[in-house]
Amino acid sequence: MTYLVYQRPISNTTKHIINDAPTSDFAEAYYGLLMPTEDNVEALVSTALYWDIYRPTMIISADDGVSLSLHETFDAGNGRPKQGINVSSLCKHPSMSVGDIVVDLYENHVYVCMPEGWHHISSGELKLSI
């Protein structure tokens, strides 16, 4: 498997927008993904995509092309890849955390990292930019 990871890097522009208007729709979209629930995660991701908050940051893959779990992807995205797992950074990025999106590039499955585990989202509902 190969996963494309989308994260919410906080640029200087993003910092200024949030600091200047901490209760704005943009700030609420950014902060809402820090602690999503099963009931609101899809709406939060949709809102963050509307505000163009996500960026592709990493490609994580396994040498054998198939054996890569979401747990292993999380570990690799946090600097702890198992032997045979490769992380290619597309830009400077934070470690993986709650609210990050991983897309299985072979099966076109989309998952959001939750406070505990992962939430599957129908990929047809998302418009992710590359």
What are 44-99's pLDDT values in tens digits?
A: 999 999 999 999 999 999 988 668 899 999 999 999 998 999 999 999 898 999 99
| Per-residue model confidence (pLDDT) at position 128 | 63
Q: Do you know the residue count of the chain? A: 130
Nearest CA among 111, 112, 80 for reference residue 95:
80
pLDDT at res. 123: 56
At residue 36, the pLDDT reads: 95
For residue 28, the tally of other CB atoms under 10 A from its CB is 16
**Residue 12 CA to its chain's centroid (Å):** 19
Chain Cα centroid distance, residue 65:
21
So what's the pLDDT on residue 126? 62
- pLDDT of 70: 95
Q: Which residue has the tokens 């163009």?
A: 52
- The pLDDT tens digits for 93-127 are 989 999 999 999 888 899 999 999 999 997 555 66
Burial class (CB in 10 A: 0-12, 13-18, 19+), 11: exposed
Helices (H), the chain: 12-20, 25-32, 41-50, 70-77
Residue 60 CB partners (closer than 8 Å, separation 6+): 2, 3, 5, 68, 73, 76, 77, 81, 85, 86, 87, 88, 102
pLDDT at position 89 is 93
Q: Over the stretch 6-52, which tens digit does the pLDDT of each residue have?
A: 999 888 888 888 999 999 998 998 999 999 999 999 999 999 999 99
Q: Residue 93 in contact with residue 57, Cβ under 8 Å?
A: yes
Question: Residue 58: its pLDDT value, please?
Answer: 96
